[in-house]
Structures are given as structure tokens and as C-alpha cells.
Chains A and B, each alone.
Chain A
């Protein structure tokens, strides 16, 4: 099965290692990925949805239409992109008034929203379409790591817009996806807490955003985590580059390696760290590679 890979902004423009990882992982696992030529920012839910609903909807619709023209479901690796594209896809599928409005705007570009595809997070593809059993069978290198999983917010919330999520308080699917790779998902204080970046807070109030990040990092460190693993590019950026920003402001160094889940999965599939862009993080991941013997 082929998926339309929605890159968003942070993955191609700041962490191309994550883009490289998904290509290698897809190849390895045997599912196809199609580019979305000319896609733009999703646009980001916390900011653009906060500014103007109609513009948010129209720009997202344009991205969805590109995927529709490929006849492939969208896969994202950023909770923000997931939130925007999933929610706008639902609005446009159900609200014909809004759909007409958007199609009016898209018409000059020979684009029309038809409602023919679904939007999935990579974790949904792995958990629902491929399945834990199959992933387990593909693991070449079980990972003896203690991992603090960071779900991020928009992959599970709001649950009224996430038909597969019953409760956002103690979800399990991400922990299971980590543990199927041989790693241990450790419990830590305030595990479901936000990284601090969303809603335009990183842009407008960086110190506030970083204070939340600091708390998250402290809690993971106290629980003895070897690294934090996230399924979201924006959380990844906040937790990784945020550590440099925290160090510059307060002098505190956490040296906590941050991996996107697709990179962790790649390691377990036996891919080399350079095939996963693991040397391009702000905080080195050497301690993780050493522990798993790569």
C-alpha cells in the first residue's frame, strides 16, 4: 500500500534526518511513499487556526487535494500537521457549505476537494495498518533501552476528533509500539504533559515554552530514561533544540537524547545511524547508540 507523505515544515526544513528515516524504514518494511509535490505548511493548528479559520481551512484543503490527486491516504510524522489535516479533512467531508466555500477558492487552480482520502499519523499506520505482530517479526536488533515516551498532545487530543482514542489520560498504543522493539517504556511524572511549544507559545513566549520543556526533561531524567522518544516533529524540535536554549539561558545541561519514533524504529530494523540522520540532532545521541551497541 502506498501513502502520500506529508512533510510539513520542520521535518524537511530543520530535521531532514527524519525524512531520510521514513524513506529507509518504508523501503525496509515494504510500504510505498509518494511525494506531495508543491505541498505547503499544513498550516499549523495552534497559530493559523487561532488567526483565521477560513484561511486555515483553505490552505489545508489545498494540501489534501494534492493527496487526493495521488489517490493515497496521507501519512504525517508531526502531531501538528496531523491535527490540522485530520480535522480539516473531517470538516470538509461533512460540511458542504464549507466545502463549497473552499472549492470556490481552489477552482482557479483546477483543484477541488472531493473527500476521497484519509489522514493518518505514522503511528496509526504502524499500529492499525501494519500491526504489532508484523513489526515484531521485523525487528533485527532488539533495543535494550529505557525510554521516556512523549506522545505530544495532538496525536490523542481532542479525543472528540480522534475516533480511535478513548481516553487521553493513559493511552497505550505508543508505549506498545516502543516495547515491541525490545525497549522498556518507563513511567515518569506528568508523562502526558505538553512539551511547551504549541499554540504559538514557542514563537511568542519562548521562556514559558522552555520552562515546560525543562519540567518534562527533569521528569524523564529523574525516572532514569536513556532517551525521550516522540512521534512529533515539533515536540522533537522543542525537546532537542530546546535543551540548547535552556542551557544558554540557565546553564543547565540535560544531555538527554531525543529520537523521533521513526528513527528508533529504524535502529530496531537494523538500519545504520547515518541512514537515520541520527548525527544531526542538537543533543548528541551517542550514549543511546553505545548502549545498544551500534
Chain B
């Protein structure tokens, strides 16, 4: 009997003509690990929420949902509440309690469990997760990854049979994301838990999953075993191609003899396949790199938040050339965000200096535009149009208005102008935030983690837009966890470690010089018989396949 089944399920939000879900029929067997993917607005979150009855959206629903052969509506509420668990995207917002321990028992208290039973289950889960050291902490001191672990643990304590996860790693750094997915994979393998996960970061989950479902405009586009579905997405012209992990993309581009079982889901499989290739390096005329002027320079910068606190930045040196795109990468807690705030003039260093165009930076200046990690904290108006027009500098109204019209076209914001800044998608929010910062005509744009939580299409769009800005001689500095993104777009990369920049070099050199902190394609091609590359694009540019 299927664990979960939907039959001709359709759903339309109030005041919307287009249905969010259109005739979705699928059946999930016990113990299956299913990945749902698709663009934002494809209905994947709606589907997931409809399965979790307590948080189902309001609107018009047609069709049926079955849990173990029984209509979901008729299953007792307490039972479904226990048996279907849900992990949300934002690690921090899901937390309800001040203390980790209280957070863990929250769900169990809701279903009226006795103290002794709660104690027993907590003891078990603590061992399984290895979270003894967190039990006595307050929730707000945890890192994003730890928070998400606690959220998962709190749900597992209710002993669910089905685990629903809505982009659970979108806000985590790559290491924390891997740890999290690993635990979910273990729950599936070792306990046979049924898992349905919405996820964009396919590279880390494909090897765990049994089945991949692609949604588009509320319909099921593809549904089947992972490799088969991937094989069906192999058409490069289709936008769904960008969902595939880089090794898979490389495989489809170069494999002469495509075989479903051979599609590389892990680096190991990729390496094996790459060995079969016979590649000659194409001669590419070296691009003449014109020495540009240094626009930013940081010398010996120290910064700490508290008088007696640790230095977050320690003797940090960095220089940025005019018109380049610099990506600052590095793990969480290495001081990346602090560095960007120092560069924006928001924080003043205790030691050392920051120079912009040869002038000392003291406080914020109009030449520098800063976009924070969470664009929400920029917004204070009811509509996007109002939000943007409030940002027009007072001294030059006419020019500002002209600029506003240009930016609206550039970022394609026409249809959003009357919406509330909170009612749009993450990618759109990011664009509005950048547009509002650009209104004061900065020369340098500082972006803190701009791709966090965006789907691959939105990421690509943002990247292309920023590239266009760069062509207009904008200097761009981004902080990012997303190595693949940095590798595809940035001109230069810098690695942050313990409050200082350890390496900074042109992107290609940077990743080829790293052993662990590098792109998948680089890990796959390094030390193999094919020329080392870091992205699919680079391979396309440099590789010539020799027929055997």
C-alpha cells in the first residue's frame, strides 16, 4: 500500500486564476526518498504543504490525498500530526523556544506526552544526533546548521513515518548542508523513513534519493528513478538543464555513448567516466589583462565588536581593482560579513585603514552601495514603487527619476511595482534591493550572500544582470558560500580564514590551487587524463574531444 498518494490534485490560491497545482497524481511508497524540484512558483511548496494538513494553504482544492490508503481528511488530526513531520526552509524562524531542550520537547508536549517518555526519547535522539553539547544552550546562540539539526530532531522525536522537507539547506553553508542531508539520508536508509524533499542543491542529495520529480507550472513534468529523470532532462536547450549538477551537465555535453546507468551522480562516478575521455586542449589566445587601477585597498584592518572580544578581522589585507568582480569565499564565522560591512563604511575598524580611490573611508559614502544578506531590512514602504522612489537622492530629483525608470526596465520590475516588498519571491526581493541601492549611483556594489535561497534560474538571472552592470564599469564584491557561483561569474576570488584573506587570485587559478575548497568539476578533472577545468563553461571553451 502506498504511504502517500495524491489523485488528480489541483489547487488554486484565492484571487488567482492560474492554479498552483494542476492535476497532480503521484504515489509514494514506504521508505522512498523523493526529491521534488522545479522553479519557484512551480507549486512544489504548495504540494508539500497540502500533504501537511495543519499548514495547508487556504484556497480551492480539488482531488484527493491519501495517507496509507485512507483519505487524509479522515485521518485523526493527532495521528497525522505525529506521523507526518515537516522541516521548513529558514532555520531560525522555525524555532519556537528560548532553550534547546524546550525546543526539542515542544512537539511532544503538544501531543500530550508524559515526562518520563519525553526524557527517554530525548536521551535516544541526543545519542543519535550527537548533540549533548547543545542541550543546555539557548537557541539563539546556535549556528544555522545546528538550528536546522535541532528542528529536525524536534520533529523526529514525534516519531514520524513521513518526513517532508522544504528546501531545508537553502540557508546553510555547504558544510552544514552536507551534514544535514547526511542525517536525513541516514534516517531513510537506517530507519526506512519515507522522505519527500524540495531541494535545489541536487548535487548533494541525488546519491541518496530514489526518485526525482520535476514540477513545472503546477504539473508533474517528469517523475521516475533519479537517473532516468536526469536522462530525460538532458536537452541542453531546456531551462531545466540548469537544475542538473555540474558533473551531469558535463556528462551530457561530452558523453558520446550516453547510458542511463553511467550518469555520474557523485564525483567518484564522474572521475571514472572522465577517464574514458580523450581530450585535447584547444589553443585559446590569452586574454590580455589590462592592469586596472586599484579602487579599494584595506591595510592591516582589525575589527572586534566588543571591547574585550576577539578580533573578528585580524590584520586583514585586500585590494580590489576597478571594474572587477571579486568573490570572497570561506566558511561561516570567518568574518566575511564583518569584512563587507567594514568595506561599506558601516563598521569602523579599530586598527588599519580602508581607502577608496585613494581616499580614506570614514563612514558610508554614496560611491559604495551595500546590499545586506537579508534585503527585508532595507524595506520600509508599502509598495515597491514607493520603496524605490524614496531612495531617489534629494539633491537630484530629475536625474534620479530617469535613473529609476531605467533600473525598473533593467531589472524587469514593471509587474511588481504595486506589490508589497514582502509579497514577492526571494529572487525578486534581491533585485529590488539592488535596484534601490543603485539609485544613488554607486561605483562599487557590495553584496552579502546574494544567491542565498534562490533557485538555479533566479541565480543565473541575477548573475547575468550583475555581469551587465559590470560591463558598465561597476566594481562588484560579493560574499558567497556558493563555490560554483563564484567560479562561474567572478573574475577573482579571495579566501577568508580566521579574520584575514589568505589567498586572492584570479578565479581559475584560485580554484585550481585549492584541494578541498573547489568546484565539483575541478575535483572531477583534477589528476585525471583530461585537462583540469573548474566549470562546465570552461570545459566547453577549452576542450576538444578526439574521436577514438
- The judgment on whether A and B are partners is no
Residues of A within 8 A of B (CB): none
